[in-house]
Structures are given as structure tokens and as C-alpha cells.
Amino acid sequence: MGDGAEPAEGPARSRTSSELALRILSGIVLAAAVLGATFWGGLPFALIWAVAAGGVAYEWQSLTDQQEVIRQRARAVALLVAAAALALHLAGALVGGLLIAAAALLAGIGRNGSRAKRAARIAGVLYAAVIAIVPVAARQGEWGLLLVLWIFAVVWTTDVLAYACGRLIGGPKLWPRVSPKKTWSGFLGGVATGAFAGWLVAGTSLVGGPAPFATWIILVASAVAAIASQAGDLAESALKRRVGVKDTGSIIPGHGGLMDRLDSFWAVSLLVGLGLLIQLA
């Protein structure tokens, strides 16, 4: 008490507890809204991903170029991407594709910034397009509800258990230059538990399954998705380090921006989107 350390720690602990409570509460509210829209399907589900895709597009544009004129253009790009997500549901792939192409063109035009920065802005539209297209397309198939719930199960379980295993077990760091806190124990724990969660959803009758695939296929696909989930998280960490920011935004209390929450989901969605394209070919 005499050195003043104890009183200083009290407010710090209180702030940490308050931030954790806010993070948990906002996470529960967000998960409930997304799951509700997922089970409902249709326009509410498309609307959720329209908002998410537009927000991701805006955050990316703002991250890659801080100039005010680019931020103003970023709002228009975000609206086009959001409109594309709704058009995919209401008007079909042609209109949605045209809107995404228009968003990419708008992001890349002008003489502001280098060619590399313009390319980065276009890449952001393509990044957001995955969020706009894949969840809605996946939900519309015969096994659509099960597929989307499988994505959520793998991503959420991998995220939570990778963190828990890393904290409890510790050990060698996974990629300290990019993400100093991530460990190999967390990575492997996330893959194992993500694979199990994927099988639990898609390979059993828990939420409408089982899917018409052998157990080993579901487990392998879930493990690959769990690896992709963590790769997406690491890739966004690398991007944030490159541009010198802690969070991509502050729209979600206690969590940061939409990109902060959707980086892992984006990576798994990309895999699912490739699978849907192969199925159509």
C-alpha cells in the first residue's frame, strides 16, 4: 500500500473487467442476431451480409489510404458493395456482379495515391465481395442452412479454443513477428477442436444433419477450414501491422471493426466459395 501500487491496480483491473464484460455482451448480441437471420434465411440473412460487406469495404478503403478524398470515395464503394449483396438475393448474379465491378472501378480510379495503393483499394472490394456473395449463395442450396452453421461452428470454435489452448498450454510462438501472442499449441488446439465442431454440426443430427458425406471427409474438410480460419486471422494481423493500426474500426463495442471479427470467417467463406464454383463447373 505504501508504494501506491495496489490502488493503481484496482482501477486497471476494473477497466479490464468492464471491457471484457462489454466484449462478451456485444459478442452474444451479435451472435444472436446473426444466428437468428441464418435460421430465418431470405431477405433478413441477405441484409445482414449486405451491411457486413459494405462495412468491410469501407474499413479496407480507409485502412489502405488515409486521405480524406479516398475516405469520401470509400463511402460510395461501401454502398455499392452493400447494394451488390442485396442484388444477388433480389435481382440475380448479373446485377450483383455489375455492382461489384462498379465498386472496384470506383475504388481504383483517380490519381490519388500510387498504383500500388489503387490496386490495394480494388483488392479491398474483392475481399468484401466474398462476404457479400458466399454466405448468401451458400444459404440458398439444398443443405444451405447446415453449410452456414458448419462455417460458424468451425470459425467460432477455432477462434475461442485456439485462444484458450494458447493461454493454458503456452509454448513456442506461431508467428511472433505478426502476432506475438499466438502459439503452436493454440494453433493445433484450434484445428483439433474446430474439426470436432465441424463434424458435430455437419456429421450428426444436431442441427439438421448429417450431411451426405463420409465422416472422414467432414473431419478433413473441417480441419482444413480451421487452418484457413487461423490463416485469415494472421493475414489481417499482418495487414494491421503494415498500416500501423490496432483495430480496423470501432463499430463493435469491445471487438473493434467488422474486419476484426470477419477475418477468419472470410477465409473459410473463400474456401466454401471455391467449393461452390467447383460444384457448378
* Counts for the chain of helices (H) and strands (E), in that order: 9, 2
Higher pLDDT, 244 or 105: 105
Residue 51's pLDDT band (boundaries 50, 70, 90)? Answer: very high
pTM for the full predicted model: 0.87
What is the CB-side half-sphere exposure of residue 217 using CA atoms within 13 A?
6
Residue 8's pLDDT band (boundaries 50, 70, 90)? Answer: very low
Helix or strand or coil: residue 160? Answer: helix
Spatial distance between the Cα atoms of 148 and 269, rounded to a whole number of angstroms: 9
Count the helix, strand and coil residues of the chain and give each as a percent rounded to the nearest 5.
80, 5, 20
Helices 93-108 & 115-139 angle (0-180, nearest 10)? 160
Higher pLDDT, 90 or 251: 90
- Looking at the chain, the whole-number percentage of residues with pLDDT higher than 90 is 53
pLDDT at residue 83 is higher than 90? yes
At 3 the pLDDT is: 42
Range picked from 57-71, 80-94, 194-208, 229-243 for highest mean pLDDT: 194-208
Higher pLDDT, 13 or 25: 25
pLDDT at residue 12 is higher than 70? no
Give the list of residues 6+ apart from residue 51 with CB closer than 8 angstroms, or none: 82
Residue 82, C-alpha cell as written in the block: 452493400
Higher pLDDT, 1 or 244: 244
pLDDT at residue 185 is higher than 60? yes
At 154 the pLDDT is: 97
